[in-house]
Amino acid sequence: MNARPPLSVSTFNKLLAVLVITGALCWGLIGFFQFNPVAALFGGEARPAEASHLSQLLYIVVGLAGLALAFTFPWRSHRELRP
């Protein structure tokens, strides 16, 4: 059997992870605190209108998923870890 080499994490994959994590954390802030950081930074309504409980729960779940990804994403490739 041929063993596959460990997958490396490219710069592009890291950039995508940063964007996904940032977006998920923004959704989490909306879900937990009804605060939209994108609107606060770039103009618009920083406090979104009252969301339904289901949509607020979805924002919270996506925000927590972003936190989980931030702590579990392999930021360094296996090749970088080897001496």
Taking 60 as the threshold, does the pLDDT of residue 81 lie above it?
Answer: no
pLDDT of res. 11: 85
Q: pLDDT confidence of 79, banded at 50, 70, 90? A: low
Question: What pLDDT score does 33 carry?
Answer: 92
Inter-residue contact 30 to 64 (CB < 8 Å):
no
CA count, 13 A, side-chain hemisphere, 16: 7
**Three-state helix/strand/coil letters over the chain:** CCCCCCCCCCHHHHHHHHHHHHHHHHHHHHHHHCCCHHHHHHCCCCCCCCCCHHHHHHHHHHHHHHHHHHHHCCCCCHHHHCC
Least confident interval from 5-9, 34-38, 53-57, 61-65: 5-9
The top-scoring range by mean pLDDT among 49-53, 69-73, 76-80 is 69-73
pTM of the predicted model over 0.85: no
| Residue 59, pLDDT above cutoff 70 | yes
